[in-house]
């Protein structure tokens, strides 16, 4: 007899709509994913992509992400939802209706901050490395 996870996995069709997801879904991982979500205190959900033909964000992904976020909040998880600029307005608007507006952020604007911070940390580590090498006499001036 199949477990509940195996039964659910049989219902999932990654080829639906021929969107190229066939290779992304690995059967047998659902139970592991649920276990990770159960043990996590903080969860980051990424959603949204631009529909090229009309230059607007998708509508089903952000709403699904908000639904998952609302469920995780009921399990006392801290939830953050990152989305692109195309899907931010629908995500933010819908999140206000269900009381989750404080967890939505535009990942593109945060990426600039994250990349800038990583760059600064990298430069700082190089500086420390150079100072250590200088102290050890590894540099010639």
Q: CB under 8 Å to 130, separation ≥6 — which residues?
A: 139
pLDDT tens across 44-84, in order? 888 887 777 888 887 788 888 999 999 999 999 999 888 88
- Whole-angstrom distance, CA of residue 116 vs CA of residue 127: 16
C-beta contacts of 127-134 below 8 A and 24+ residues apart:
none
Clarify whether residues 74 and 21 are in a common domain. Answer: no
How many structural domains are present in the chain?
Answer: 2
In this predicted structure, what is the pLDDT of residue 110? 67
**What SS3 class is residue 6?**
helix
Q: Are 1 and 47 in a shared domain?
A: no
Same domain, 127 and 99: yes
- The answer to whether the beta carbons of residues 9 and 27 sit under 8 Å apart is yes
Residues 96, 125, single domain; the answer is yes
Q: Read off the pTM.
A: 0.66
Asked if 65 and 6 sit in the same domain, the reply is: no
What residues make up the domain containing 4?
A: 1-39
């Amino acid at each position: 007899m199949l477990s509940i996870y195996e039964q659910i996995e049989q219902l999932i069709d990654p080829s639906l709509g021929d969107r190229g997801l066939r290779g992304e879904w690995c059967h047998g991982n659902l139970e592991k994913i649920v276990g990770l979500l159960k043990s996590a205190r903080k969860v980051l959900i990424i959603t949204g992509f631009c529909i090229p033909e009309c230059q607007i964000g998708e509508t089903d992904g952000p709403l699904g992400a908000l639904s998952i976020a609302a469920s995780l909040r009921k399990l006392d998880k801290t939830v953050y939802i990152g989305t692109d600029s195309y899907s931010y307005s629908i995500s933010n608007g819908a999140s206000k209706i269900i009381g989750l507006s404080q967890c939505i952020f535009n990942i593109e604007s945060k990426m600039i901050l994250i990349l800038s911070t990583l760059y600064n940390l990298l430069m700082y580590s190089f500086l420390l490395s150079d100072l250590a090498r200088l102290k050890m006499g590894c540099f010639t001036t």
